[in-house]
Amino acid sequence: MEIIFDIILISCIAFLMFSTGLLVEPKEIISYFRNDNFILTLRVVAANIIIVPLLTSIALLSIPFESHAALILFVLAISPAAPFIPAMVYLNKGDMNWALALIIILTIISLITIPLMVYLGSILLLDIIGLKGMVITSFLVNYIVPIFVPLIAAIGIKIYRRPWADNLLPISKTLFKYLNLLLIIMILVINYNQFSSLDTSIILISIISCVVWALIGYVSVYPVAETPQYITAIITTGFRNFAVGLLLLDILANDKIVLLYIVPISLITLGTCLISSFFLPIFRKKVIPID
């Protein structure tokens, strides 16, 4: 059963990243690495890979958390660039092309930052999160194969074989949808006996964490962004990469029951992030336009 779960998990993530790559418009994305847009991109990247993990680690050291919740918060904090982000940004009238640009650069940088953060976490937060050691080669194989390779392959197809990309996108999205559903069902079935042990406090912790992460995204572009860019920064930073988080938990967690926690947390933080960017009036106001 565990082998089947791992195969479905990797396949699900691979199709998700492949679909993300097929959405990329290279010429438009390149524009976000120039002039003032480049500065904004760097600020959001820094917020995702430095500020969010740093503040989350400080919170874990300062506030008593249940070990499963602490491990999940740490793993999510070090896992940026959720592939769902472009869809969420589009629905909320944000800048989808910038969201795709951020996902690409954060995915590449994560090849270095995630192993580094896990190493530091295993030293500084060992007693809090119960993290077991991670073999770097194992991580790189599990990260590069289902995440990096499909993303780069899809971008290559979009550049050199656009008609193929248009035909492959609906197929890839459909496969991901059903694999994702199967994955959630398997998580619930495997951990059915422990389902009642879920702590209700995890709901409050998830909401607070997501709001803080979203605010970090907002601050990272304040006060020089336009409304769509605010929305993009908030969602990109507030909604962490649960695909990578699930992959890391499968590798790192001593107790696999922790996999069950990430399902409700993902739904809670997704809803919180969207509500934060949609209902707060300040995110709908134009601040200082960028040429």
pLDDT at position 169 is 92
pLDDT at position 228 is 86
Q: Where are the alpha helices (DSSP H) in 23-95?
A: 26-30, 35-46, 52-62, 67-77, 85-91
Q: Which residue, 210, 218, 211, 215, is CA-closest to 266?
A: 210
Token couple for 128? 């809090």
pLDDT at position 93 is 81
Q: Is 94 in a helix, a strand, or coil?
A: coil
86, 231 Cβ separation under 8 angstroms? no
Strand partners, 62: none
Token couple for 9? 């998990």
pLDDT at position 286 is 47
What is 2-284's CATH number, 3.60.15.10, 3.30.56.10, 1.20.1050.10, 1.20.1530.20? 1.20.1530.20
Token couple for 195? 């389902």
Residue 283 one-letter amino acid: F
CB-based burial label for 265 (10 Å; 0-12, 13-18, 19+) = buried
pLDDT less than 50: residues of the chain: 280-281, 284-291
Q: Is 134 in a helix, a strand, or coil?
A: coil
Strand partners, 131: 253
pLDDT at position 171 is 94
pLDDT at position 225 is 80
pLDDT at position 287 is 42
pLDDT at position 30 is 79
What is the tens place of the pLDDT at every residue in 49-88? 999 999 999 998 888 887 778 888 899 999 998 877 887 7
> What is the residue extent of each domain of the chain?
2-284
pLDDT at position 46 is 96
Residues present in the chain in total:
291
Q: What is the pTM of this model?
A: 0.83
